[in-house]
Structure 1
Amino acid sequence: MPEPSKVSIQEPPLNVLVLYDHISTYTTTVKEYLESFLLYSKHRIFYAAATSGNHAPPTTVDLSLFDVVIIHYSVRLCYDWHILPVYAKAVARFDGLKMLFIQDEYDHTDLARQWMKKLGINVVFTCVPEQFIEQVYPSALLPKVDFIPVLTGYAPLPNAKFSSHKPFAERKYVIGYRGRRLPFHYGDLAREKSFIGQEMRRICEARGISVNIEWEEIKRIYGDKWYAFLRDCRATLGTEGGSNVFDFNGTLKSDVDNALKKKPDLSYEEIHHHFLAKHEGNVRMNQISPRIFEAIALRTVLVLFEGDYSGVVKPNLHYILLKKDFSNVDQVLEKLLDDCYLEELTECAYRDIIESGNYSYRGFVQMVDAQIDRRVKTAKNSAILTGVVAFRRNIEETWQLVAVQPESPVVSMFTSQPIGQSESPPPGTGRLGGLRYRYQIVVMNLFNYASKLRVEHPRLYVIVRAIYRGMQTVWKIMNRLLMRSK
């Protein structure tokens, strides 16, 4: 009698909750990072807006139905005010696997380490290179935490926008770039983001070369408009990301800010000499930016300062190397006019970086799933009944509520996908519905601005906080009026 064939029994998927900041999803890289879990994980993924940007948070949170809780890097644990207390308490009480994805680890590192202990984090996916992890996160301080190095982002998710690209002869600009002015205390890597643009624009404008290079915050480009912009550029500039100056407790930023208040005309070089030099490079981050992956996906040539770039891209194979003193700028600009060379360079970069799948979100999420499987041996087997709460017909629309109580904001629930601030549905249309919604938007924007002020301008924050508390009183009065109208 033949032996019965062995049937492989597939383990049921786990219930995984991702905590995130819904205001940060206006950037493509944050949104794609969040959505990658939904697209590629074998487990059931849910999301919750868990930061101070959520203007109508739940009063209680029960995480016991989940097997795993993930804290996304958009929840900034380098601050003590960003994660909502109701979620912080719930995570601390949670008895399942707790995983943290963290970035910008050079900011208030001590506070982030305190959060790891307070929340009982088991696994941290860090952007700190492996050889520096012990220096940043001593095992004596965090003995029960596993640290796994990852990139800040990966190749863009599959998108029709990447299926074709403009011939180089049809592109409007020789070079397009959006840099950023960052505070002095972040050091040389941060300084390079604006310096490369400023110097290249000066050189190109003097030679009559068509460029679109900016570094002011108001000139930033996001979402699909950024992709459209890159498609119109023969090349874009780039530098290594992150900071090699670790400000463990915030005193370095405070010292630099105080020096600039006393003498506003201090140069970066003077600040660096007096405050930063002894800290610069003690930990080398030198990360590759997600925007480098985006440029490669669109077959836009990369002109990058010399650097390591997390070991992903190589000079003359994937990008044109620009020396930091601009001594080879003539050769760089000459190469940018050679269409055949540019085609070969971009095709090689696309094949090695994008097409290979070596730096895909699929591979990244599979790695995360493997880490979960190693640590979760017994699932809670919670059955979660999901229902239709909201819908939209295309991604340009806001969500339309179909809930029993349409006043309940979707961002306060566990949802089946991340919801951005601009996508949040308005409340129900009662007599005061439209007015109340407009009021909520004003309060939310004020609160988000105040959160930034608390760090950057403490005195102004006190004034804004007083205004906010006054508006809270008005809100209570409006609530009473609404209840009477029902």
Structure 2
Amino acid sequence: MTKKILVLYRLSHPLPAARVAIRQHIQALSQLEDRCEVIYANAVLGMPAWVRRVRFDGIVLHTTFLGMRWSPSFREWKEGLDWIGSLDCAKVALPQDEYDHSAVLDSWLAQWGVQTVFSCFGEEMWPILYPTLHGKARFVPCLTGYLLDGDAERIAAKCRPLSERPFDIVYRASKLPYWFGSHGQLKHEIAGIVREAAGRAGLRCDISTRPEDTIMGDRWFDFLASGRVVIGCESGSSVLDRDGGIMKAIEAMEAANPSLAFADVHKAMPEGWDDYRFFAISPRHLEVVLTKTAQVLVEGSYSGVLEADRHFIPLRRDFSNLQEVMERVKDTAALAEMAERAYEDILLGGKYTYRKFAEEILTAVPDRPLDREYRRAGSGLFLEKALSLRGMAVDGIVSARDRIMALKRIH
């Protein structure tokens, strides 16, 4: 039986205009169109009334939807949607940055009766992040992003051999706020430290943390494929901010002293505030694999996907082996072997695809008995699906004329 799924996301712009990685993550279930009928609804302005009239098998609360917990208007926005918690269907949550307002997230999911949570962190972190929901809901480990079937061939056509690429090392990152802790600072610190060392070693670099140098769309893959090596570290944070209190405290410090350094903030914060390890592999690490580019990464587990010295050159967290790493970067043949090995193990293995992710999500939605009422609900779902695919329901607003025109096309 085909399952009927509602995916709730939240974007300030139409879905087609979203970054590729975000759009692919939201539309993961499109990989299983033969097994499920999916409506994608943007809840940026609340939810359209028609949602209450459709009987769904499951509702998926997307990362972007759950990110509303960080907004100052969260409580008012959520109150207008609390009726979702009373809907009689399976509810699946796909949170990310779970360490940020973790108590708010835990309470919210418990209140709405979420039965399955896909977590980016290991089971040892679940009781810390979800003290209320842990033991009640089913937790499934997942990645922050996956590979899309078909991308490999399209991107491979753009990639030159490592020996023909214009740069030795490439990297883009943004400077994260202090409330992401020392790990958050590492993401931009590595840029300056490696750029300086690479210059001394005579290596060519395109490394930047400036906002104006951000690269979007398919140009991102062109950028990754312009270097023999991409540097980086795990995504995540070394801070657990349960209710936003740490963020507010640091914002107050910076307001009083705009030139405050991270070391000053660290001294002013309670002992142990920066001792957590909410680290995970980033989608960009998989994107680098697609371009057959080698990686130099700060040592870590990378969610068990990437293995040091097999899939990447490990850089110690204190940069004590940086000179040795720069020498390894000069060995193009060894880099090519490592990049090819990562491509074969991770991409060709087929384990980390959006199709596999979609299958896990669909497994979390049990089958319903096919009764008469359920069959009647199906025709309305097909209507909304047609509207959504045409882009008319992308923000949850559908005109009467559009509904009539869609019915004519369907019948």
TM-score under structure 1 length normalisation: 0.73
Q: Distance in 1 between matches of 2:388 and 2:269?
A: 52
Question: One-letter code of the match for 1:215?
Answer: T
Give the 3-state SS of the residue equivalent to 2:195 in structure 1: helix
Give the 3-state SS of the residue equivalent to 1:17 in structure 2: strand
Change (3 A) 1:277 1:214: farther
Give the 3-state SS of the residue equivalent to 1:383 in structure 2: helix
Change (3 A) 1:336 1:148: same
Change (3 A) 1:85 1:252: closer
CA shift, 1:409, in A, is 5.9
**Structure 2 match to 1:237:** 231
Q: Distance in 2 between matches of 1:84 and 1:269?
A: 37
Contact 2:42–2:394, Cα closer than 8 Å, also in 1 = no
Change (3 A) 1:346 1:207: closer
Change (3 A) 1:263 1:126: same
**Structure 2 match to 1:443:** none
Change (3 A) 1:254 1:101: same
Change (3 A) 1:77 1:410: closer
Q: How does 1:188-267 map to 2 (within 5 A)?
A: 188-267=182-261
Contact 2:235–2:281, Cα closer than 8 Å, also in 1 = yes
Q: Distance in 1 between matches of 2:135 and 2:252?
A: 36
Q: Distance in 2 between matches of 1:388 and 1:248?
A: 40
Q: Distance in 1 between matches of 2:354 and 2:393?
A: 30
**Structure 2 match to 1:66:** 56
Change (3 A) 1:256 1:210: same
* Runs of 4+ residues over 6 Å off in structure 1: none
CA shift, 1:90, in A, is 4.0
CA shift, 1:30, in A, is 1.3
Q: Distance in 2 between matches of 1:370 and 1:16?
A: 12
2:138 to 139, 146, 157: 146
Question: One-letter code of the match for 1:30?
Answer: I
Deviations 1:313-369 (A, max 9, x none): 111100011123333223222222222111210111011111111222222222222
Q: Distance in 2 between matches of 1:33 and 1:325?
A: 34
1:34 partnered with 2:29: no
Contact 1:77–1:115, Cα closer than 8 Å, also in 2 = no
Question: One-letter code of the match for 1:16?
Answer: I
CA shift, 1:142, in A, is 5.8
Give the aligned CA root-mean-square deviation in angstroms.
Answer: 2.6
Q: Distance in 2 between matches of 1:310 and 1:62?
A: 38
Q: Distance in 1 between matches of 2:134 and 2:123?
A: 16
1:345 partnered with 2:329: no
1:176 partnered with 2:170: yes
Q: How does 1:347-426 map to 2 (within 5 A)?
A: 347-373=340-366, 376-379=367-370, 380-381=374-375, 382-384=377-379, 385-386=382-383, 389=387, 410-412=394-396
**Structure 2 match to 1:17:** 6
Contact 1:63–1:94, Cα closer than 8 Å, also in 2 = no
Give 1 or 2 for the bigger CA radius of gyration. Answer: 1
Q: Distance in 2 between matches of 1:193 and 1:156?
A: 26
1:108 partnered with 2:101: yes
Q: Distance in 2 between matches of 1:232 and 1:370?
A: 39
Give the 3-state SS of the residue equivalent to 1:117 in structure 2: helix
Q: Distance in 2 between matches of 1:307 and 1:213?
A: 22
CA shift, 1:276, in A, is 5.9
Change (3 A) 1:148 1:103: same
CA shift, 1:304, in A, is 0.2
Change (3 A) 1:274 1:231: same
CA shift, 1:155, in A, is 2.5
Question: One-letter code of the match for 1:150?
Answer: C
**Structure 2 match to 1:449:** none
Q: Distance in 2 between matches of 1:339 and 1:202?
A: 20
Q: Distance in 2 between matches of 1:349 and 1:61?
A: 43
Change (3 A) 1:388 1:312: closer
CA shift, 1:410, in A, is 4.3
Contact 2:41–2:394, Cα closer than 8 Å, also in 1 = no
Contact 1:69–1:99, Cα closer than 8 Å, also in 2 = yes
Q: Distance in 2 between matches of 1:239 and 1:357?
A: 23
**Structure 1 match to 2:311:** 318
CA shift, 1:266, in A, is 2.6
Number of residue pairs the alignment of both structures matches: 383
Q: Distance in 1 between matches of 2:274 and 2:234?
A: 14
Deviations 1:227-272 (A, max 9, x none): 1111111111110111121110111111112222223333212212
Give the 3-state SS of the residue equivalent to 2:207 in structure 1: strand
Question: One-letter code of the match for 1:71?
Answer: L
Give the 3-state SS of the residue equivalent to 2:250 in structure 1: helix
Deviations 1:72-114 (A, max 9, x none): 0011142363595587234123111111110111111121122
Give the 3-state SS of the residue equivalent to 2:284 in structure 1: helix
CA shift, 1:285, in A, is 1.7
Q: Distance in 1 between matches of 2:176 and 2:207?
A: 16
Q: Distance in 2 between matches of 1:218 and 1:303?
A: 24
CA shift, 1:31, in A, is 1.1
Query: Could you list the runs of 5+ residues in structure 2 that have no partner in the other structure?
Result: 403-411
CA shift, 1:180, in A, is 1.3
Give the 3-state SS of the residue equivalent to 1:181 in structure 2: coil
Question: One-letter code of the match for 1:171?
Answer: R
Q: Distance in 2 between matches of 1:219 and 1:367?
A: 36
CA shift, 1:117, in A, is 2.8
Contact 1:173–1:232, Cα closer than 8 Å, also in 2 = yes
Q: How does 1:258-297 map to 2 (within 5 A)?
A: 258-275=252-269, 277-282=271-276, 284-297=277-290
1:78 partnered with 2:79: no
Q: Distance in 2 between matches of 1:314 and 1:89?
A: 43
TM-score under structure 2 length normalisation: 0.85
